[in-house]
Amino acid sequence: MIAIIDYGMGNKHSVYNALKYIAVDSIITRDAGEISRAERIILPGVGAFGAAMENLRQFGLEDILHEEVIVKGKPFLGICLGMQLLAETGTEKGLFKGLGWIAGDVVKLQPAGTGFKLPHVGWNDIELVRDVGLFKGLKKEKAFYYVHSYAMRPADENDLVATGNYGVDFTAAVLKNNIFATQFHPEKSQKNGLTVLENFVDWRV
């Protein structure tokens, strides 16, 4: 069973439907008991960093997530905003403290040249920085779907596993121990996205 964290923001139903499509049981929840019983955890999200962190704290989710992911080491997937929240700080509409699981910050994209509108919406290839099992079996064209204006800057280059480019290079995926996160939306990325989700389900930390 996979717990999809419901903190009042984001694409939780799309993630649920994608997991259902690949025949994986999941539950959308903010209940500490259900999160504790889950084998894996997904933190989705679309929206603003500060409001998202406020919701996580308001619903009492920060502590249970720390217990299950950091202390117990359960496999974890952060998606889009759910990835950004792992950083130490976010800079959208102010300076906000994140979960701090990945050293680094989240900053606004600064594309060079013309024709790059924000938010960055649509398909974009990824460049693998290092080969990890979570990206095995992808099509030759490694395109994924994005909706974002901000991106994480990991402080430790060893945490970076994939980049994208939208007038500027940005972090597409990070991996640290049992924590995997993507700026793109695997649940909206067709075959490549479903492959990543299947790899996450099979991932042994």
Write out the catalytic residue numbers.
80, 185, 187
CA 104, 106, 107, 110 dihedral sign is: positive
Decide if 113 contacts 76 (C-beta within 8 A): no
How far is residue 57's CA from residue 185's CA, in Å, rounded to a whole number?
A: 24
How far is residue 54's CA from residue 62's CA, in Å, rounded to a whole number?
A: 10
How far is residue 192's CA from residue 204's CA, in Å, rounded to a whole number?
A: 20
62: phi then psi, degrees, rounded to nearest 5: -60, -45
How far is residue 138's CA from residue 20's CA, in Å, rounded to a whole number?
A: 20
How far is residue 65's CA from residue 81's CA, in Å, rounded to a whole number?
A: 16
Which alpha helices (DSSP H) does the chain contain, by range?
12-21, 32-37, 49-58, 61-65, 81-84, 190-202
